[in-house]
Amino acid sequence: MKILKFLILLIVLGSLVSIIYGFTILEREPDTANKCIGGGTVGLFLIAMPLFLFAASKGKNIKDYMLNEENIRKMQEKNRRKNKNQ
């Protein structure tokens, strides 16, 4: 798990460096700058974010977060209890 966190951090930092570098050379080399900015954005949103979501949701039950009748009833019951206590 630590390796995955380190990998995610490395990808995020590399993507941010690529985006910043792209903006600094935008005036001199617009083609290379656009490639750096685009590559950094792809790395950030299409590689790092899914990896982070996978690592953060590991071991959690997806049914707890789905909106179905059972969970709606649980939320309504919690609201009723909360209103009674106030």
Number of residues assigned to the chain:
86
Quick one: pLDDT at residue 75?
Answer: 87
Instruction: Quote the domain boundaries for residue 32.
Output: 2-85
Q: Which of 40, 47, 42 is nearest to 21 (CA)?
A: 40
Average pLDDT by consecutive 10-residue portion of the chain (86 residues)?
92 97 96 97 96 89 83 87 77
Quick one: pLDDT at residue 5?
Answer: 93
Task: Provide the number of structural domains found in the chain.
Answer: 1
Q: What is the CA radius of gyration of the chain?
A: 21
Quick one: pLDDT at residue 78?
Answer: 85
